[in-house]
Amino acid sequence: MPVIKNVTCPICGTLCDDLDVTVKKNVIIDVKNACAVSEAKFMSFSNPEHRNLKPLIRKKGELTEVSFDEAVKKSAQILADASYPILYGWSCTSCEAIRVGVEIAEEVGGVIDNTSTVCHGPSILSIQNVGIPTCTLGQIRHRADLIIYWASDPYSAHPRHMERYTAFSEGRFQESGWEHYVARLRGILGKKRLSRASERVLMEEVSLPAIAGKKLPPEFETKKRKLIVVDVRKTRSAELADFFIQVEPNRDFELIQALRLLVRDEELEVDKVAGVPVELLEGVADAMVRCDFGVLFFGVGLTMSSGKQQNIDAAIALTRDLNYRTKFAIMPMRGHFNVAGANVVSTWQTGYPFAVDFSQGYPRYNPGETSVVDILCRDEANAGLIIASDPVSNFPKEAVQNLVKNPLIVIDPVISPTTMMADVVFPSAFVGIEAEGTAYRMDRVPLPMKKLVNPPPTCLSDKEILQRILRQVRKIKQRRKA
């Protein structure tokens, strides 16, 4: 049976490119090296129960099957008639499709925004403010000896990130911490057994030591490659870490600024910051300064809570401070597989990475004003085109109410709350499974997405659907000019 090697995974920004996929008669029957989420996608993407298989148009309140040409004509009419349409999504499609999307936005004088607006948008604003000392994931795999995940749970959102690039990867100059973790896990399980046995004998509860103590554990000093997790809850990633720091919600900014002071050898005249003992923070600052090459990965826990871009400003400033003492890098944990690509394409085409407004005939960028959630909450848009995204599930209610009351075109391989509220639905092919293209990894390394099987005959690629809509929009505009 043909095994397609080195397949790039169309799930998260880690963009693992070592999957082996077995295909038999245009059906994927096995996938190796995939994480749980990736395996779920490869093995169930073709399930017709949750797939859009025919173009649909809402008629008398019901979504009704139509021809592809009719759906294209209706969509082009909606976009050409709208004075301020929004074009949103883009992070789960190819760079080639995004490029066509930018052309449509310019043609119709709309706003093109991608999912980074509700993900790492504040990180981008901060990078534009402060700059970013960063590197590629390969550098981290081979050289980083201190890894910090801050407000990020890679176990859940980027399941193979640790295995491929950080604590559990075997680098050229750094060993994997996997064996150490397994030994520690055995120790914890042994203690748990002992505790349960003691409870039976003593008839009283025997508590286990918490991961988050007041001091770094002694073995932390001797370990070569160290992993610290900072989060508001003891996430699954925190359980894998050498040390977990539990910060109070909405107080990351204070904690980062406290670490900045300690890295600069200043003293803190309090006992705790954001619920974390200063004694412990001193140990962490010491570990940061003493490492050879540290990296701080941060998640949307920083961008979505109080402070938003201020949190990222502080985190980047901490990294900059650390670079006076040692080598340190910082990187946002990008979510969707091509969200970085959406920023890259948008930047090279328009000059701006997201929230680009073409209503004046030239690109304008002012997040807070030209970002989709703000436009919708102010009820300014009068049509929408959504591609490879589900904003009805992911946006706040106030924004969704104004999104769905206007004509809504959705291009998506799967049935979602957004396709259920649409006026026009295009069934599309899955990029990276049924259509090829290019995607950018979280460190902005471009990788090819392969076509493994043929899509159902009624499903075209995102790029093709968008090109057909663009051609039709141009026809309408030319007719109007004539």
Q: Which stretch, 78-86, 116-124, 165-173, 316-324, contacts other proteins (CB under 8 A)?
A: 116-124
- Burial of residue 12 (CB within 10 Å: 0-12, 13-18, 19+) is buried
Residue of 99, 234, 272, 451 that binds other proteins (CB under 8 A): 234
Should residue 396 be labelled a site residue for other proteins when binding is judged by CB under 8 A? yes
User: Rounded to the nearest whole angstrom, what is the least distance from the CB of residue 229 to other proteins in the complex?
Assistant: 12
User: Rounded to the nearest whole angstrom, what is the least distance from the CB of residue 139 to other proteins in the complex?
Assistant: 26
Q: Which stretch, 139-147, 226-234, 341-349, 452-460, contacts other proteins (CB under 8 A)?
A: 226-234
Q: Site mask, other proteins, residues 340-379, x = CB under 8 A?
A: --------------xx-----------xx--xxxx--x--
Residue identified by tokens 């057994």 is 193
Q: Which is nearer to other proteins, 6 or 401 (CB)?
A: 401
User: Rounded to the nearest whole angstrom, what is the least distance from the CB of residue 325 to other proteins in the complex?
Assistant: 31
Residue of 135, 414, 445, 476 that binds other proteins (CB under 8 A): 414
What span, in angstroms and rounded, lies between the C-alpha atoms of 119 and 157? 13
What span, in angstroms and rounded, lies between the C-alpha atoms of 353 and 114? 9
User: Rounded to the nearest whole angstrom, what is the least distance from the CB of residue 138 to other proteins in the complex?
Assistant: 25
Residue of 98, 104, 329, 400 that binds other proteins (CB under 8 A): 400
Q: Which is nearer to other proteins, 152 or 472 (CB)?
A: 152
User: Rounded to the nearest whole angstrom, what is the least distance from the CB of residue 71 to other proteins in the complex?
Assistant: 18
Q: Which is nearer to other proteins, 276 or 329 (CB)?
A: 276
Should residue 420 be labelled a site residue for other proteins when binding is judged by CB under 8 A? yes
Q: Which is nearer to other proteins, 47 or 360 (CB)?
A: 47
Q: Which is nearer to other proteins, 29 or 40 (CB)?
A: 40
Residue identified by tokens 């976009």 is 79
Q: Which is nearer to other proteins, 257 or 394 (CB)?
A: 394
Site for other proteins in 92-111 (CB under 8 A): none
Should residue 162 be labelled a site residue for other proteins when binding is judged by CB under 8 A? no
Residue of 92, 105, 125, 288 that binds other proteins (CB under 8 A): 125
Q: Which is nearer to other proteins, 353 or 437 (CB)?
A: 353
Binding-site size for other proteins (CB under 8 A) equals 68
Should residue 289 be labelled a site residue for other proteins when binding is judged by CB under 8 A? no
Q: Which is nearer to other proteins, 120 or 141 (CB)?
A: 120
What span, in angstroms and rounded, lies between the C-alpha atoms of 89 and 339? 9
Residue of 14, 343, 416, 461 that binds other proteins (CB under 8 A): 416
Long-range contacts: 413-418, Cβ < 8 Å, 24+? 413/45, 413/51, 413/52, 413/388, 413/459, 414/50, 414/51, 414/52, 415/50, 415/51, 415/52, 416/390, 416/392, 417/390, 417/392, 417/393, 418/386, 418/389, 418/390, 418/391, 418/392, 418/393
Chain-centroid distance of CA 244 in Å reads: 23
Should residue 8 be labelled a site residue for other proteins when binding is judged by CB under 8 A? no
Tally of CB atoms within 10 A around 314:
22
Should residue 45 be labelled a site residue for other proteins when binding is judged by CB under 8 A? yes
Residue of 17, 96, 145, 153 that binds other proteins (CB under 8 A): 153
- Phi then psi dihedrals of residue 7, to 5 deg: -80, 140
User: Rounded to the nearest whole angstrom, what is the least distance from the CB of residue 313 to other proteins in the complex?
Assistant: 12
User: Rounded to the nearest whole angstrom, what is the least distance from the CB of residue 218 to other proteins in the complex?
Assistant: 24
Should residue 32 be labelled a site residue for other proteins when binding is judged by CB under 8 A? no
Should residue 404 be labelled a site residue for other proteins when binding is judged by CB under 8 A? yes
User: Rounded to the nearest whole angstrom, what is the least distance from the CB of residue 289 to other proteins in the complex?
Assistant: 30
Q: Which is nearer to other proteins, 121 or 294 (CB)?
A: 121
Q: CA distances (Å), 209 to each of 188, 191, 213, in order? A: 9, 9, 8
Should residue 265 be labelled a site residue for other proteins when binding is judged by CB under 8 A? no
320 Cβ contact list (under 8 Å, min separation 6) = 130, 131, 133
Site for other proteins in 54-93 (CB under 8 A): 58, 61
Interface contacts to other proteins, rule CB under 8 A: 11, 36-37, 40-41, 44-45, 47, 49-50, 58, 61, 113, 117-118, 121-122, 125, 153, 155-157, 159, 232-236, 238, 246, 249-250, 300-301, 303-306, 308-309, 354-355, 367-368, 371-374, 377, 390, 392-401, 404-405, 414-417, 420-421
